[in-house]
Amino acid sequence: MAGQERLDPLRVLVVEDEYFIADDISRALIRHGAEVVGPVPTIQEARALMVSQNLDLAVLDINLRGELVYPLVAELSRRGVPMVFATGYDAAAIPADYGAIPAWSKPFDYNALADVLPGLRRA
Domain boundaries, the chain: 11-89
Using an 8 Å Cβ cutoff, are 40 and 49 in contact?
Answer: yes
User: CA-to-CA distance for 57 and 75, rounded, in angstroms?
Assistant: 13
Computed on alpha carbons and rounded to an integer, the radius of gyration of the chain in Å comes to: 14
At 6 the pLDDT is: 46
Predicted confidence (pLDDT) per residue in 59-90, tens digit: 999 999 999 999 999 999 999 999 999 888 77
Mean pLDDT for all residues in the chain: 85
Using an 8 Å Cβ cutoff, are 14 and 22 in contact?
Answer: yes
Whether the pLDDT of residue 116 is over 90: the answer is no
User: CA-to-CA distance for 107 and 95, rounded, in angstroms?
Assistant: 21
**Mean pLDDT along residues 48-68:** 93
Q: For the domain bounded by 11-89, which CATH number is listed?
A: 3.40.50.2300
User: CA-to-CA distance for 1 and 51, rounded, in angstroms?
Assistant: 34
User: CA-to-CA distance for 49 and 97, rounded, in angstroms?
Assistant: 25
The DSSP call for residue 22 is H
Q: pTM, whole model, 2 decimals?
A: 0.86
The DSSP call for residue 43 is H
Whether the pLDDT of residue 9 is over 70: the answer is yes
| Least confident residue range of 34-38, 83-87, 101-105 | 101-105
